[in-house]
A and B are shown apart, each in its own frame.
Chain A
Amino acid sequence: DTGVSQDPRHKITKRGQNVTFRCDPISEHNRLYWYRQTLGQGPEFLTYFQNEAQLEKSRLLSDRFSAERPKGSFSTLEIQRTEQGDSAMYLCASSLAWGPDEQFFGPGTRLTVL
């Protein structure tokens, strides 16, 4: 068990470009989450998958954001036409079951939009 992994760890892009991040959850975990964390703030929920189904989305997830988990394993988060306000740490987490079960977080992808 290697934990939740995210790729890339850092991404610098120019405004208007598209970016895609990948998250690999812990292998047996069927739930996967994306959060965004800006400087000085706690993480904010973006979206959640159970297997391949996207079951919950935040209003923060504008039309420029899309997330997929096509085979119920890894997930991708794409941001189209990036804006400077998209600069943040994008965190992925996974968990095994419902209720108080722990969400295990990955190291995050830090996005800087110039």
Chain B
Amino acid sequence: AQTVTQSQPEMSVQEAETVTLSCTYDTSESDYYLFWYKQPPSRQMILVIRQEAYKQQNATENRFSVNFQKAAKSFSLKISDSQLGDAAMYFCAYRSARSEKLVFGKGTKLTVNP
């Protein structure tokens, strides 16, 4: 079974600084997708960024970028120029190309200090 591990339960960053959230996953499959979702306090989960495993180029969405290391099964999220609105729980998620099921990690709580 696939598993997703987020080793940092909590992280903090100063406003305007850069922070990296870690994620590793375990799978025997070669075709899959990886996601980072953000869950603000008492608000619904929204997609931050996604990566197809067959793509070598790391995905980027404005201030958010990933470092995808397929051989190491690592998928970290970098947030540049952190803003107060970035404060949230961040979940890393995996989905096999053969399934619709998202497998989530336990999450990292990000605090942004002014």
Q: Chain A residues in contact with chain B, CB under 8 A?
A: 3-4, 31, 33, 35, 40-45, 48, 55-56, 58, 91, 99-100, 102-108
Contacts and interface: CB of A to CB of B under 8 A. Distances in A.
A58 B102 CA distance: 11
A27 B68 CA distance: 34
B91 A43 contact: yes
Contacts, number: 51
B33 to A, nearest CB: 4
Nearest to B109: A40
Main secondary structure of the interface of A (DSSP, over half): loop
Contacts of B33: 99-100
Interface stretch (B13-21, B46-54, B71-79, B80-88): B46-54
B106 A108 contact: no
B102 A56 contact: no
Size class of the B contact interface (CB-based, 8 Å): 20 to 34
A105 B100 contact: no
Nearest to B43: A107
Contact of A103 (B52, B97, B102): B102
18 contacts: A3-B44, A4-B44, A33-B100, A33-B102, A40-B106, A42-B91, A43-B104, A56-B99, A56-B100, A56-B101, A100-B33, A100-B50, A100-B95, A102-B47, A103-B47, A105-B44, A105-B46, A106-B44
B104 A48 contact: no
Given A42-B106, A91-B45, A105-B44, A99 B101 contact: no
A108 B33 CA distance: 24
Contacts of B46: 105
Contacts of A105: 37, 44-46
Nearest to B4: A42
Contacts of A107: 43-44
Interface string B95-114: 10101111111110000000
Contacts of B104: 42-44
